[in-house]
Amino acid sequence: MLNGEKNPFTSWRWKQWLILFGVSTGIGLLFVFQNYVGMVQEKGPSYTWSELLIGLLSYWYVWAILFPCIVWLGRRFPLGAGPSAGALRWHIPAFVFVPVLHIAIYSLFLHAVDGAERPFLATSIALMKSGLFFRYLTYAFLLATSYSIDYYRHYRERELRASRLEATLVETRLQSLRNQIHPHFLFNTLNAISSLMHRDVDAADEAIARLAELLRVTLEADGTQEVTLRQELDMLGQYVEIEKLRLGDRLTVDVRVPPGEAAAMVPSMVLQPLVENAIRYGVATRSTPGTVTVSARRDGDEMEIRVTDDGPGLPEGYTEGIGLGNTRARLAQLYGARHSVSVAGETPGGCCVTLRIPFRTDTYEPSTDGTSEPPEDPDAHR
């Protein structure tokens, strides 16, 4: 027990009281059945069913009335929480007094039901002689039960708090990773518009308008870690239009997503850094037209997403940069071990990034086993 526990008389609601008296009724009926079987086997003095029910049910109902007092005492003066001498000063008298109080209340009830045959004083003395020891055992059992219930509840509350803290930490990490994408994306897009300003002012003006719209959409989705693939492709389309204003006919983006897969949930802004890399290193570096292909397909209970370009392929000494690094870290946080990210060169040229994530159409549940961290180099490449 811990100090500061609530008083059961004020904190318990009807459900707790109903459970308490339900358990008392069950124990009382069990004793009724046990005593009846014993009488049948011994063929000794017998009681009627009504006498057994009244006597044994009332016996446990009196304990049900006293149980909140036992709970309160255990919570108010907990054993094992620091020096227990002060608590024992209360528990030892209660251990002696509560069973005697039970006898007094029980005898009073029996006297009220059958006063002629159950005089209060004589019944109390008889019960003191025959049933006091069992009541001591019952009191100790109820006190231990009270401690056990509260310790279990504290254990569950600690687990729940730990789980909530873990979920909060994961959510914070996800938001941090997501926020790192925005300045990286914004910096590159503004550079593209800057270069466009010297060649085509009208195109640069249109690019700024599209960038404003794209930022509005992403800000509206701020805090949302997953969106449908259809929504993700709509945001990607805004970015691609800006790049087309810069690259013109040199850039073609081919989207191959079946209608059934468009409703799948994917991390928000997961495609933009991959397509940006494909354009930057696969299309913009060449003078001839290039194509970036975005495809998705369901494979059992997984979704496979590919971003492929037909550029020069992976350079020698290739190292992973902020785009893929953030993607890996976000997927690890969202899906734990149920994801994969692979980068491979294509034949005769080009590069393909493949993502595999769980296929589902509901919202995400952050994983608690992801330990990936984003790369620290903001100037890293793919």
Q: What is the pLDDT of residue 165?
A: 57
- Whether residue 130 is contained in a domain is answered as no
Q: What is the pLDDT of residue 221?
A: 60
Count CB neighbours of 216 within 10 A: 11
193-219 pLDDT, tens per residue?
787 787 888 888 888 888 787 777 666
CA distance 169 to 177: 12
Instruction: Please give the residue that has the higher pLDDT: either 110 or 296.
Output: 296
- Whether residue 255 is contained in a domain is answered as yes
User: And the tokens for 196?
Assistant: 């466009």
- Whether residue 133 is contained in a domain is answered as no
DSSP of 316-372, one letter per residue? TT----HHHHHHHHHHHHHHTTS-EEEEEE-SSS-EEEEEEEE--SS-----S----
Is there a single domain that holds both residue 28 and residue 106?
yes
- Whether residue 195 is contained in a domain is answered as yes
Q: Is the pLDDT of residue 373 over 60?
A: no
Is there a single domain that holds both residue 188 and residue 334?
yes
Torsions phi, psi for 252 (to 5 deg): -130, 130
Domain of 244 in residue numbering reads as: 166-358
Q: What is the pLDDT of residue 376?
A: 41
State whether residue 314 is helix, strand or coil: coil
CA distance 250 to 91: 86
CATH number of the domain within which 229 lies: 3.30.565.10
Asked which of 118-122, 220-224, 287-291 is least confident by mean pLDDT, the reply is 220-224
Give the E-state strand segments of 231-289 in sequence order. 251-256, 265-267
pTM here? 0.50
Asked which of 7-16, 95-104, 127-136, 270-279 is least confident by mean pLDDT, the reply is 7-16
Q: What is the pLDDT of residue 372?
A: 43
Is there a single domain that holds both residue 84 and residue 232?
no
Closest CA to 306 of 258, 279, 341: 341
Q: Is the pLDDT of residue 315 over 60?
A: yes
Instruction: Please give the residue that has the higher pLDDT: either 344 or 377.
Output: 344
Q: What is the pLDDT of residue 358?
A: 93
What is the domain count for the chain? 2
Q: Say what angle helices 201-220 and 120-197 make with each other, to 10 degrees.
A: 180
Give the highest mean pLDDT range of 212-216, 310-314, 354-358, 375-379.
354-358
Instruction: Please give the residue that has the higher pLDDT: either 172 or 159.
Output: 159
Q: Residue 119, Cα to own-chain centre: how many angstroms? A: 60
Torsions phi, psi for 103 (to 5 deg): -60, -45
Is there a single domain that holds both residue 78 and residue 186?
no
227-252 pLDDT, tens per residue?
899 998 988 888 888 888 778 889 99
- Whether residue 25 is contained in a domain is answered as yes
Residue 349 makes CB contacts below 8 A (sequence gap 6+) with 310, 311, 312, 313
How buried is 207 (Cβ within 10 angstroms: 0-12 exposed, 13-18 middle, 19+ buried)? buried
CA distance 238 to 212: 10
Is there a single domain that holds both residue 94 and residue 208?
no
Contact 305, 271 (CB under 8 A): yes
- Whether residue 31 is contained in a domain is answered as yes
Is there a single domain that holds both residue 76 and residue 183?
no
- Whether residue 157 is contained in a domain is answered as no
Q: Is the pLDDT of residue 266 over 80?
A: yes
Torsions phi, psi for 332 (to 5 deg): -65, -40
State whether residue 273 is helix, strand or coil: helix
Question: What residues pair up with 254 in beta bridges, in sequence order?
Answer: 293
Q: Is the pLDDT of residue 375 over 50?
A: no
User: And the tokens for 4?
Assistant: 């500061």
Is there a single domain that holds both residue 176 and residue 306?
yes
Is there a single domain that holds both residue 188 and residue 57?
no
Is there a single domain that holds both residue 170 and residue 67?
no
Is there a single domain that holds both residue 100 and residue 204?
no
- Whether residue 381 is contained in a domain is answered as no
Q: Is the pLDDT of residue 291 over 90?
A: yes
Round the CA-based radius of gyration of the chain to a whole number and report it: 37
Examine the fold and report which residue of 118, 138, 153 is the final residue of a domain before the chain moves on. Answer: 118
Q: pLDDT-derived band of residue 151, with 50, 70 and 90 as boundaries?
A: confident
Asked which of 42-46, 104-108, 354-358 is least confident by mean pLDDT, the reply is 42-46
Asked which of 5-9, 70-74, 287-291 is least confident by mean pLDDT, the reply is 5-9
Is there a single domain that holds both residue 228 and residue 291?
yes
Is there a single domain that holds both residue 104 and residue 214?
no
Q: What is the pLDDT of residue 303?
A: 94
Q: pLDDT-derived band of residue 171, with 50, 70 and 90 as boundaries?
A: low
Give the E-state strand segments of 202-250 in sequence order. 226-228
